Amino acid sequence: MDIPLEERIIVALDLSSVEEAQAMVKRLEKKVRFYKVGLQLFLAGCYQMVDWLAERGCKIMLDLKLFDVPQTVALAVEQLRNRPVAFATVHGNEEILKAAVEAADDRLKILAVTVLTSLDQRDIEDLGFSCKVEDLVLSRAKRALQVGCHGIVSSGLEVARLREEVGYGLVAVTPGIRPVENRPVDDQKRVMGPKEAMAAGSDYLVIGRPIRNAEDPIVVVEKIQREIEEGLQERGNGER
């Protein structure tokens, strides 16, 4: 997959105001052209940030994790059809994912959320699942592929097995990325380094705090991009 280096990192703009997010983009946009707008920022400014990013030529992942009855999700996705959004995330069963895919246009790509990277084995058992995290991710990924989703959101820990069993038919967007020297204790439990995630088969890396909290975000971005290139080289002649 021919993805420009400046689009491999999707910077998570998990900030409390549009002004803060715009300031961060202005610092990074010479190196990064893909950004994630999540619940916090979307509720702070609705489409203001989405439209502003598009005007600057940036790509947008709208991470709202849509989850409701299929018809409601379909109607929500229809609201995005005329918006400059590249990826939209949907959480749910096969019927919900199918409804989202059918409601999207050719420009909008639906990403199926598998298992949140803030959940570990104990958490999914608490939620009533009796399988391993990896098995649950793979099962949901296979359903996403069957109903026509463009890709999935998955931790890097499951990507290698995903590639072995379903190949490169799905785009793999990987959050929970933590450089080795920057792994604070936070809400992310299933984490991986940038190089390792790319070598395993990830296509895009969603990264927030390691960049946002850095004294010099550009230095961090450049280091991660070097690791991405190393991971792609390690992947060798496989799909990119």
Domain residues of the chain, as ranges? 5-235
Q: Are 24 and 191 in contact (CB under 8 A)?
A: no
Burial degree of 230 (CB within 10 A; 0-12, 13-18, 19+)? middle
Beta strands per DSSP E along 155-228 = 171-174, 204-207
Handedness of CA 225, 230, 233, 234 (dihedral sign): negative
Q: Is the pTM of this model over 0.75?
A: yes
Distance CA 180, CA 196 (A): 10
Q: What is the pLDDT of residues 88-109, one digit of tens each?
A: 999 989 999 999 999 999 999 9
* Residue 65 annotated to the active site: yes
Q: What is the mean pLDDT of each run of 10 residues along the chain (240 residues)?
A: 93 96 97 97 94 97 96 97 95 94 96 70 59 73 92 87 88 83 50 89 95 95 96 73
| Ramachandran quadrant class, 113 (left: phi over 0; alpha: psi -120 to 50; beta: rest) | beta
- Which residue do the tokens 């989202």 mark? 100
Annotated catalytic residue, options 36, 59, 65, 189 = 65
Distance CA 58, CA 123 (A): 35
| Per-residue pLDDT at 101 | 97
- Nearest Cα neighbor of 87 from 66, 61, 65, 107 is 61
Q: Which two tokens stand for residue 137?
A: 């991710």
Q: Are 87 and 116 in contact (CB under 8 A)?
A: no
CATH for the stretch 5-235: 3.20.20.70
